[in-house]
């Protein structure tokens, strides 16, 4: 089967190898003629970013480049991008990269015409209604990792350096108008990033599937996403040029982010403070916590995980699924404990309070409290499942 498609769910997605060549058409479809291309400094040196700029130029779309975006982007990156966007009179953002560049680009487009400060739009209650919708510029997203699914999401994660917290900025209009999913862009991703980002996609599908809310649409997307990951993640890590595996991982990433409109849970709640305080990779950090959180949630999710295990072709038991997660982590080089991320117990008290306040904590199937977060951090350091 040819892994190509034009999808209109959850936004307009042009999926298929080589389709980054359609970037000019995508920019025009999103009504931009002077876009700012936002990426990170490492990717800015990659041939495909240079090619993307040439493709745009060839189509008469005058794009400028902004690449001052760090991994785990901070507010200063958004402010710098905003300055370039406003001074250059740009009329849209083309965000190219992993979750960091996509989120930074999306938030720059969102902030373009706002008068209130960034943190007024944190994803708390209905704060998103504070935004002036006409001040949000259109976005075209081009993912180069297969993990966060930010290319089909309505949020951006930005670190508040003042409080060392990862904050989610949300608005329905932050959904990219057009997304180009070109798996060829991911073939040069190193195995460690492929593994970490792929485990982020798995964490999204898994936490959405386990969330304690009624959302059969999300559940259906999540289980098929996990099947694609089971078939493809090890292959993508070990044979980077396997385009079929790369394509399935790119789909699974988009599916994870589509499904987590339902819920995320303790994996993300515990991971965000680690990312904010230790600047670790988001997906790799999630992957460390996954088995400890699964075991903690077992009383609430045992039946549904058994059903999931059957769908994935394992024995229909919780233990079969947990065993697969442990084997997968091992096979793709994810550390088993927090020590592998160079995280010790020095800040567990602070991290437990931060985890409990994280907006994803409320979606965990077993209610969390500070003591439970502390215990989970300790388990993840001691390797105790």
Ligand X SMILES: NC(=O)c1ccc[n+]([C@@H]2O[C@H](COP(=O)([O-])OP(=O)(O)OC[C@H]3O[C@@H](n4cnc5c(N)ncnc54)[C@H](O)[C@@H]3O)[C@@H](O)[C@H]2O)c1
Radius of gyration for the chain, computed over Cα atoms and rounded to the nearest angstrom: 20
Q: How far is the CB of 49 from ligand X (least distance, A)?
A: 10
Q: How far apart are CA 329 and CA 196, in angstroms?
A: 10
Q: DSSP state, 74?
A: B
Q: Nearer Cβ to ligand X, position 42 or 323?
A: 42
Count of alpha carbons within 13 Å of 103, Cβ hemisphere only?
Answer: 26
Q: Shortest Cβ distance from residue 168 to ligand X (Å)?
A: 8
CB-nearer residue toward ligand X: 11 or 145: 145
Under 8 Å CB-to-CB from 98, ≥6 apart: which residues?
A: 40, 71, 143, 144, 145, 147, 148, 193, 197
Residue 138 touches ligand X, criterion: CB under 6 A: no
Is 43 an interacting residue with respect to ligand X (CB under 6 A)? Answer: yes
Asked if residue 212 lies in contact with residue 267, where contact means CB atoms within 8 angstroms, the answer is no
| Closer residue to ligand X in complex, CB, 42/164 | 42
Q: Check if the beta carbon of residue 71 is closer than 8 Å to that of residue 43.
A: no
Is residue 257 within the footprint of ligand X (CB under 6 A)?
Answer: yes
Among 11, 77, 148, 297, binds ligand X (CB under 6 A): 148
Min dist CB 29 to ligand X, Å, is 22
Q: Choose between 200 and 358: whose C-beta lies nearer to Fe ion.
A: 200
Site for ligand X in 88-107 (CB under 6 A): 97-101, 103
24 binds, among Fe ion, ligand X, none (CB under 5 to 8 A by kind): none
Q: How far apart are CA 204 and CA 319, in angstroms?
A: 20
Would you say 311 and 223 are in contact if contact means Cβ atoms under 8 Å apart? yes
E strands of the chain, at which residues?
Answer: 5-7, 12-15, 36-38, 64-66, 93-97, 139-143, 155-160, 165-170, 178-181
Least distance in angstroms from the C-beta of 372 to ligand X:
23
97 binds, among ligand X, Fe ion, none (CB under 5 to 8 A by kind): ligand X
Name the binder of 157 from ligand X, Fe ion, none, CB < 5-8 A by kind: ligand X
What number of residues does the chain have? 385
* Footprint on residues 182-211 left by Fe ion (CB under 5 A): 200
Q: Does 219 bind Fe ion (CB under 5 A)?
A: no
Residues that bind Fe ion (CB under 5 A): 200
Residues that bind ligand X (CB under 6 A): 40, 42-43, 71-72, 97-101, 103, 144-145, 147-148, 150, 153, 155-157, 166, 185-186, 188-189, 193, 197, 200, 257, 282-283
């Amino acid at each position: 089967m040819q892994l190509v498609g034009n999808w209109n769910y959850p936004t307009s997605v042009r999926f298929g190898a080589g389709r980054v060549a359609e970037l000019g058409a995508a920019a025009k479809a999103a009504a931009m003629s002077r876009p700012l291309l936002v990426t990170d400094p490492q990717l800015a040196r990659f041939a495909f970013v240079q090619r993307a700029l040439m493709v745009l130029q060839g189509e008469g779309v005058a794009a400028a480049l902004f690449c001052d975006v760090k991994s785990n982007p901070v507010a200063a990156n958004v402010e710098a991008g905003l300055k370039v966007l406003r001074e250059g009179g740009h009329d849209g953002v083309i965000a190219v990269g992993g979750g960091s560049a996509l989120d930074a680009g999306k938030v720059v487009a969102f902030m373009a015409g706002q008068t209130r400060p960034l943190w007024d739009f944190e994803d708390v209650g209905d704060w998103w209604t504070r935004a002036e919708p006409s001040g949000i510029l259109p976005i075209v997203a081009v993912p180069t990792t297969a993990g966060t699914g930010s290319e089909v999401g309505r949020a951006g994660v930005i670190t508040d350096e003042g409080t060392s917290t990862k904050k989610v900025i949300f608005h329905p209009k932050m959904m990219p108008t057009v997304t180009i999913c070109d798996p060829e862009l991911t073939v040069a991703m190193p195995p460690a990033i492929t593994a970490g980002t792929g485990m982020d996609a798995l964490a999204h599908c898994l936490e959405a599937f386990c969330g304690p809310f009624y959302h059969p649409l999300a559940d259906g997307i999540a289980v098929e996403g996990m099947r694609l990951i089971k078939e493809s993640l090890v292959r993508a890590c070990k044979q980077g040029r396997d385009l079929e595996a790369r394509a399935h991982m790119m789909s699974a990433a988009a599916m994870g982010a589509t499904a987590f409109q339902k819920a995320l849970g303790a994996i993300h709640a515990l991971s965000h403070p680690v990312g904010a305080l230790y600047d670790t990779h988001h997906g790799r950090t999630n992957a460390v916590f996954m088995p400890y959180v699964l075991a903690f949630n077992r009383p609430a999710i045992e039946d549904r995980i058994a059903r999931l295990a059957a769908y994935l072709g394992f024995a229909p038991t919780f233990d079969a699924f947990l065993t697969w997660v442990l084997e997968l982590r091992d096979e793709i080089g994810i550390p088993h404990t927090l020590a592998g991320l160079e995280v010790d117990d020095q800040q567990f008290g602070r991290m437990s309070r931060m985890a409990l306040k994280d907006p994803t904590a409320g979606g965990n199937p077993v209610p969390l409290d500070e003591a439970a977060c502390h215990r989970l951090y300790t388990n993840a350091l001691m390797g105790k499942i």
